A and B are shown apart, each in its own frame.
Chain A
Amino acid sequence: MKKTHIIILVLIAASIVVLISYTGDLTTYETISSAKQKEGKFVNLIAKVDKQQPVEYDAAKNPNYLTFTAVDTLGNSIKVVYHNNKPTDMEKSERLVLKGRVQGDHFDCKDILLKCPSKYKDDPNAAKNAVRNSGK
């Protein structure tokens, strides 16, 4: 066996080990009720802001504290605490990916990913709404 072959095999084996160990780091997308059953485990919630409930953020008091209620498509809701600034346009986003853990009665959020329908490629509905609301 040539030494290049040995090195190729070793490197490929190393890559496979790396990828397998990566699967251990992976997390999951969850609904609010399934996340509550995995308290303390890092999960990705797919939800949106419950507009019936107050969104608390006062940069004058503390720019690193945001709390609101998230609701998912199944209708479950949970209080979310986020120690960072409030993302622009959060209420309008139709889909939030909340990364964090359920801790007791609330979801301790580390990161929020917004999906605005009009982020890059505008979806036609956003365009329609833009024109409808324009007081034509």
Chain B
Amino acid sequence: MKYIGEHLLPGQIGHILTLLSLVASLMATIAYFMANRLGDSSEKTSWIKMARGAFFVETVSVFSIFGLIVYIISNHYHEYFFAWNHSSRSLPSKYLLSCIWEDQSGSFLLWSVWHCVLGWVLVWKSKDWEAGTMFVLNLAQFCIGTMLLGVYVFGAKIGNDPFILWRNSMPDLPIFTNPDYLQLPRVFEGNDLNTLLQNYWMVIHPPVLFLGFASTIVPFAYAFAGLMNKRHDWVKPVIPWAGFSAAILGLGIMMGAAWAYESLSFGGYWAWDPVENASLVPWLTLVAGLHVNMVYKNTGYSLKTTYFFYIITFTLILYSTFLTRSGILSDTSVHAFTVDDKNLQAIYVQLIGFVLVFFIPAMVLFARNYKTLPSIQKEEQTYSREFWMFIGSLVLFLGGIVIIAKTSTPVFNKVFGSNIAPPEDPEFAHNQIQIFVAMILGLLTAFTQYFKYKDTPKEQFGKKIWIPTLVSVIISLGISLFGEIRYGSKGPVFLVAIHLAIFTAVYAVVANASYIWLGLKGKVKAAGASVAHVGFGLVLVGILVSSAKKTVLSWNTTGITVLSKESKGAQGDPAENLTLFKAVKTDMGKYMVTWIRDTVDNIDHKRYFEIEFIAKDKSDSFKLYPDVMKNNKGMEGFAANPSAKHYWHKDIFGYITSFQENNTTDTTTFRNKQVKAGDTLFYGNGLMILEKVAINPAEQQSKVLPGEVSLFLNMTVITKDGRRYPANPGIAIKDQQLRLINDTIRSQSLVLQFNKVVDQKTGKLEIGIKESSSITELITLKVYEFPLINVLWLGVVVMTVGFGMSIRQRLLTKTNLKAV
């Protein structure tokens, strides 16, 4: 059949480029491997030349593939499944790139792009390490290239082809009997980007995170090349690389946390979700590796651990790729990729293969060379920097291993056929252990720099350390005593641990900040490490205080009377949702909260709610603008984005947990009842009392026009759960004209109407009661307070800056030496 309006050329070019990049990466791998085996010779030079040529072809191909996908998506060529499935015509163009990383193969492509960029820096800078390191990098490129293939080998699908035509990937769809299928409305419009990803963090977080992921290959590649060539002088040039990698990976992880905090309604920035853990653990081992690397460079100790930590870091990166992309986490994580069953086995094998291709050869080489790796027999001094750095690295590593072991229970289930599930409180299961890890790390971060390498005179150490120690004790006592750390729900041991950890975190900040003067005599240029450590300490302080003091503000107190019986059954589970009716002031603890209005933005398709908070003591008032967005991709309901009011010392953070729209037409009619003052009437959800009839009451003057005579009823509506609402339906008369003034109790969907006076002598009146299902527009809201959260974000920035300073310092000293 001839289809109308398809653009087949970009896809054909794309297929050629995918193959070309795969072949080129294989060529480069082989050529670099050959070059690495040879000493300096013209033969080596020609292998290198060939390898660079192949790598150039590969780089051009990878960038062109990326460009072609951008081209296909931005032109809405929905004949390509990738474009149809991840974008739509109404999607704002700033989210164009997010469409690429929504897809498995798109995010692999991003990884590949970063490898190419890093590869050229290695070609430019690494001199005689080029052949060894680029061999490893190109092997990784080859593995990633297979992920984009989408060919069938013995019935198993290898990789996902981003350029596959929709009609080829799902040929049995009936729409493809229509030659003009591209004009069908759903096809024309596109399936859209997942609503959760339509957020600015999603444009920036994945590229940074993937740069972090990709850059961990460089320390690994140096270590691998070192083992192949039995040369260990790579430990010097690798330090800026490891620093860069740790900075970017850390930044990328925390951008993900910021995304979770700002746009996901998980109620916080970190949930120990398996996907989060899988990227945190390689960061921990990488930082451990960086520290033992420094130890080796300065003292000659810890070469073996340096090798081991860099190997294990990259292995963990590959393992986390396996965890998040194989679909194995689908029962434990809220945001892992899921995979349909048909491709499950193939992608399993492929991803496990990716891990083992690097891990096994590296470990075999490591084991073979283990005996010959230089080491020092003499023991480290207790009063030496290297001793404590080594301990700290070990704690980082083991803390990470504990996290990843816990995260791997689905793998354990898969291998042994068991049915283990996470604990009842999975977050606390991590917190109760990691609080001690944090405590030790804080302490070591604080004092280790005050030791010198090799040995430190005891008096000198004591003389410098006492001031920051005293200052930290005072500050942290201040926080402990006056900071209202009331996190008693997990028992006294945990509470004590929190206080101790706060002390060590403060200690880390203070000691490292003062080290810039006490140790470095104010040489700020050389203070990169200290600044990074201050940042790390601030991160710990921010995490500890904001988590320990996180409070729920939207504690439901309104409906509590009817519910308390049932709530008790749930072991005092939080009733964290508060119902708001439009324009009805609602009591929320310290605040009175009102849903003022809501508007739909036609550009980003979000409905913004304006919610006003007024403190009861009038000390504060502000507005939050959380929004909801109608879900797409066949899901009903709404995706909610939180909004936060930022203070310097805390955030008030709220999001909509459900939203009930008024879209049904009102079909109910008034029920008329005859009553007199003092009577009680019943309605569906309670009763109402008519207290008295008032003629021209002053408080209702605003509803009455000039010249009208008015009659108002004073009524009280009492709901089943004891809430009381005043109601004042009325009539106004002028020149024999009767006007009805109804009163509506929104939260009860109740409309009251004063119809007429039946009998003046007996005081009999007629009122109309309408219980409607269509009046209630309501939202339920969750509101949290996060104190000192800004300290966490500040810490991340400071840490990244610190890393940047020390990388710069290292690169500068190197060039200076050369100049001399």
Contact = CB atoms under 8 A, between A and B. Distances in A.
Interface of A is mostly: mixed
Contacts of A122: 85, 191, 633
B635 A118 contact: yes
A97 B332 CA distance: 9
A120 B569 CA distance: 35
Interface in A12-54: 12, 14-15, 18-19, 22, 25-30, 42-44, 46
Interface residues of B, number: 84
B634 A126 contact: yes
Interface string B529-557: 00000000000000000000000000010
B429 interface: yes
Contacts of A7: 391, 394
A131 B188 CA distance: 11
A126 B405 CA distance: 34
Nearest to B377: A2
Interface in B555-613: 556, 559, 562-563, 566-567, 569-570, 573-579, 581
B570 A108 contact: yes
Contacts of B331: 29, 44, 46, 97, 113, 115
Interface in A79-93: 81, 83-86, 88-89, 92
B51 to A, nearest CB: 35
B484 interface: no
Contact of B423 (A27, A59, A124, A128): A27
A43 B421 CA distance: 8
Given A92-B636, A121-B338, A4 B387 contact: yes
B636 A19 contact: no
A120 B102 contact: yes
A99 B635 contact: no
Nearest to B81: A127
Given A44-B421, A62-B559, A89 B334 contact: no
A128 B647 CA distance: 47
Most buried by B among A8, A85, A116: A85
B698 interface: no
Contacts, number: 198
A122 B633 CA distance: 8
Nearest to A30: B419
Contacts of A29: 331, 419-421
B338 A136 contact: no
B391 A119 contact: no
B438 to A, nearest CB: 14
Contacts of A97: 331
B304 to A, nearest CB: 12
B43 to A, nearest CB: 45
A115 to B, nearest CB: 6
Contacts of A27: 420-424
A63 B578 contact: yes
A120 B337 contact: yes
B579 A60 contact: yes
Given A18-B402, A124-B170, A127-B191, A59 B579 contact: yes
B186 A85 contact: no
B680 interface: no
A56 interface: no
Contacts of B779: 59
Interface residues of A, number: 65
Interface in B391-444: 391, 394-395, 398, 401-402, 405-406, 409, 419-424, 429, 433
A42 B424 contact: yes
Given A27-B424, A118-B634, A64 B335 contact: no
A41 B817 CA distance: 67
A44 B170 CA distance: 35
A83 B567 contact: yes
Contacts of B332: 113
B577 A64 contact: yes
Given A89-B636, A113-B331, A108 B421 contact: no
Given A28-B419, A64-B576, A131-B187, A15 B401 contact: yes
Given A85-B657, A120-B338, A60 B85 contact: no
Contacts of B126: none
Interface string B71-94: 000000000000001000000000
B185 interface: yes
B696 interface: no
A32 B715 CA distance: 50
A22 B191 CA distance: 43
A29 B418 CA distance: 9
B353 to A, nearest CB: 20
Given A2-B379, A8-B394, A28-B419, A64 B575 contact: yes
A119 B335 contact: yes
A85 B338 contact: no
A2 B379 CA distance: 7
Contact of A123 (B103, B184, B338): B338
B380 interface: yes
B635 A83 contact: no
B578 A103 contact: no
Interface in B631-660: 631, 633-639, 657-658, 660
Give the residue among B104, B331, B634 with the most A Cβ atoms within 10 A: B634
B465 interface: no
B146 interface: no
B744 interface: no
A63 B85 contact: no
A85 B579 CA distance: 10
Interface in B287-341: 330-332, 334-340
Given A123-B340, A126-B634, 13 more contacts: A4-B387, A14-B398, A15-B402, A59-B577, A59-B658, A62-B579, A63-B556, A64-B556, A89-B637, A99-B424, A117-B338, A121-B337, A125-B340
Interface of B: 85, 102-104, 169-170, 173-175, 178, 184-187, 191, 194, 330-332, 334-340, 379-380, 382, 387, 390-391, 394-395, 398, 401-402, 405-406, 409, 419-424, 429, 433, 556, 559, 562-563, 566-567, 569-570, 573-579, 581, 631, 633-639, 657-658, 660, 685, 747-749, 776, 778-780, 782
21 contacts: A4-B391, A15-B402, A22-B406, A22-B429, A25-B424, A26-B409, A28-B419, A29-B419, A44-B422, A60-B660, A62-B563, A63-B579, A63-B780, A64-B559, A83-B570, A83-B575, A118-B633, A121-B102, A126-B634, A128-B173, A135-B185
Interface of A: 2-4, 7-8, 11-12, 14-15, 18-19, 22, 25-30, 42-44, 46, 59-65, 81, 83-86, 88-89, 92, 97, 99, 103, 108, 110, 113, 115-136
> Which 9 pairs, one residue from A and one from B, show the smallest C-beta to C-beta distance?
A88-B637, A134-B186, A25-B423, A63-B780, A63-B577, A64-B575, A85-B657, A44-B421, A29-B419
